[in-house]
Amino acid sequence: MSDKQSTHFGYREVDNDAKADLVANVFHSVASRYDLMNDLMSGGIHRIWKRFAIELSGVRKGNAVLDIAGGTGDLAARFSRIVGDQGRVVLADINDSMLRVGRDKLIDTAHQGNIEFVQADAQDLPFPDDSFDCVTIAFGLRNVTDKDRALRSMLRVLKPGGRLLVLEFSKPESELLGRAYDGYSFRVLPLMGRLVVGDSDSYQYLAESIRMHPDQETLKQMMEDAGFARVEYHNMTGGIVALHRGVKA
Amino acid sequence: MGPSPTLHTAALAGLEGLLNRALALDPESGRALAALDGRVFALDCTAPHFQVYLLPSTDGLQLAGHWEGEVTTRVRGEAADFAELATATDPAAALINGNLTLEGDSAPLIELQKALAGLELDWEAPLVDNLGDVAGHQLAEAFRGLFSFSRQAHASLERQLEEFIHEEARLSPPRLELEDFYRDVGTLAERSERLASRIERLKARIRRLSQ
């Protein structure tokens, strides 16, 4: 058993095989109130972060877009309007609870016309090579067991010239902001999780997983190692969140 | 250096919401915007630094801080240059001949201005909330200059037309002259009535004296 590869689940070291189930349990637990919690936790700013990601995506009418870990469909809804009838948006999530909440929400808001829903693992995307003009993953990469494998899989399904956008929590630029953010993450978030979703452990995991996620420069290097060109990142809200963008050459 | 991506995007989100709420109440402006579907307008404000792309469509108006595709019309200048359009006697000439740099096709920009000119918009609130009092106010002035001048230009044109009809061509009497005339008529009517009653009194007196 000692030769089994391990990874992080928050601050815990777990077997690679176990992480997917542990993450799945977190998202099964929070799916029904995921949007509400996001608004509460970020003061609504997560909508601004996602909006910025959409602007940098360069998605146009008629494009094919894959939104991985698309969860409750915030990005997919907006992409659906941009690509129009001639375009295609695939909302993929490994977690069926999240996918169900997202699908219901998008159907309720009349967005289903050009959107497909696919339960898929980011590490092994079930799409042919060169399928999409743009791939996005917002607040999802840190939950993936093997991030390098996932990045290679994303590169494979992108068309040449296609863009990958990774929106993810990152490392605050200033130490002072970092300390304030730590206090918020480890004291306020679990409490909020307990009050709103009835689950403080999931939000404890959220705070821990953010700290364990690669910082801006490390993720940039990982994207370049996976084969992406012109990789750049934009810090948002003092680096609490960063948007990385890379192009398939 | 421009505002941080978060603040810039928040300001644009606020403006976009403001515009689309106003458009929802004004179907005519909505139709005018839908006719511009596919065009992209860039506004480069160099001081304070702020960039916005306006993308009209059948769903309303989308605002973006980044755009890597083709641009139909680009206007570049300082906030003060944009603001001058609001007070220019000939805004179209000021837009073309002033300190602003205009690239691309100006006709669709005029159409966009016409579509937005009819809307009652408070440009100030979303910009000041996200970018602070000074930069927010300057940018609000810039937006007002570019997109609200048509309304002022129309008001100015109407005023000039009224003056021409009344004073130059004398096609119709001005309001003040008419009021004077009506007052004179009223005075004359009162004096006629008083004269008539005086005549009646004199007639009655003559009848009494002749009896």
| pLDDT at res. B45 | 92
A121 among annotated binding-site residues:
yes
Q: What value does the mean pLDDT take over residues B183-193?
A: 87
User: Which residue numbers of A have CB closer than 8 Å to B's CBs?
Assistant: 45, 47-49, 51-52, 55-56, 58, 60, 81, 234-237, 243
Evaluate whether residue B168 is within a structural domain.
no
Three-state SS for B191? helix
Same-domain pairing of B210 and B116: no
Residues B177 and B93 in one domain: no
Which residue of chain A comes nearest to B14, CA vs CA? A48
Query: Bigger pLDDT: A194 or B57?
Result: B57
**How far apart are the C-alpha atoms of B154 and B175, rounded to whole Å?**
21
> Which positions in chain B touch A235 (Cβ < 8 Å)?
5
Nearest to B6 by CA among A117, A38, A236: A236
Take residue B33 and report the two structure tokens written for it: 């915007």
Query: Given an 8 Å threshold on Cβ–Cβ distance, is A55 in contact with B66?
Result: yes
CA distance from start to end of chain B? 107
Q: Does A249 belong to an annotated binding site?
A: no
Within-domain flag for B166: no
Interface predicted TM-score (ipTM): 0.74
Residue numbers in B near A243 (CB within 8 A): 5
Residues B120, B206 within the same domain: no
Q: Are strands A158-169 and A228-236 parallel, antiparallel or unpaired?
A: unpaired
Please give the pLDDT value at position B43.
92
CA dist B75 and B106 (Å) reads: 9
Domains, chain A, ordered by start: 43-169+215-248 (3.40.50.150)
**Dihedral sign of CA atoms A126, A129, A131, A132 in order:** positive
Count of CB atoms within 10 A of residue B72's CB?
A: 21
Give yes or no: residues B9 and B75 share one domain.
yes
- CATH for B145: 3.30.1050.10
Q: How far is A106 from chain B (nearest CA, A)?
A: 17
Question: Would you state the pLDDT for residue B84?
Answer: 80
Asked if B97 and B181 sit in the same domain, the reply is: no
Contacts A58 to B, Cβ<8 Å: 66, 68-69
Mutate to test the interface with A, among B8, B9, B52, B67 (most CBs of A within 10 A): B9
pLDDT in tens, A9-33: 777 777 777 777 777 777 776 666 7
Is A7 annotated as a binding-site member? no
* pLDDT on residue A1: 43
Residue A158 has, within 13 A of its CA and on its CB side, a CA count of 26
Residues B150 and B183 in one domain: no
Predicted local confidence at residue A207, as pLDDT: 77
What is the C-alpha separation between A11 and A211, in angstroms, rounded? 8
Residue in chain B nearest A55 by alpha carbon: B66
Q: How many domains does chain B have?
A: 2
Interface of B with A (CB under 8 A): 4-6, 9-10, 12-13, 59, 64-69
- Which residue stretches of chain A are H helix? 16-30, 34-42, 45-57, 74-83, 96-108, 147-157, 175-183, 189-196, 200-212, 216-226
Predicted structure pTM score: 0.74
What domain range includes position B114? 5-161
- The answer to whether residue B208 sits within a structural domain is yes
Q: Are residues B144 and B202 in the same domain?
A: no
Residue B57 inside a domain? The answer is yes
Q: Is A124 annotated as belonging to a binding site?
A: no
Of the candidates B12, B13, B59, which has its C-beta nearest A81's C-beta? B59
Is the pLDDT confidence value at B150 over 60? Answer: no
On whether residue B15 sits in a domain, the answer given is: yes
Position A76 confidence tier, pLDDT thresholds 50, 70, 90: very high
Are B181 and B120 found together in one domain? no
Rounded to a whole number of angstroms, the CA Rg of chain B reads 29
Letter string b/e over residues A123-157, b meaning 16 or more CB atoms within 10 A of that residue's CB: bebebeeebbbbbbbbbbbbbbbbbeebbbbbbbb
**pLDDT at A40 exceeding the cut of 50:** yes
In this prediction, residue A52 carries a pLDDT of 93
- Nearest alpha carbon to residue B50 among B69, B73, B81, B77: B77
Residue with tokens 């490994």: A94
Whole-number Å distance between alpha carbons of B79 and A133: 37
Pair (B34, B115) in one structural domain: yes
Name the residue among A133, A130, A135, A132 with its Cα closest to residue A150.
A135
**Range from A61-75, B31-45, B130-144 carrying the lowest mean pLDDT:** B130-144
Regarding whether B193 and B117 lie in a shared domain, the answer is no
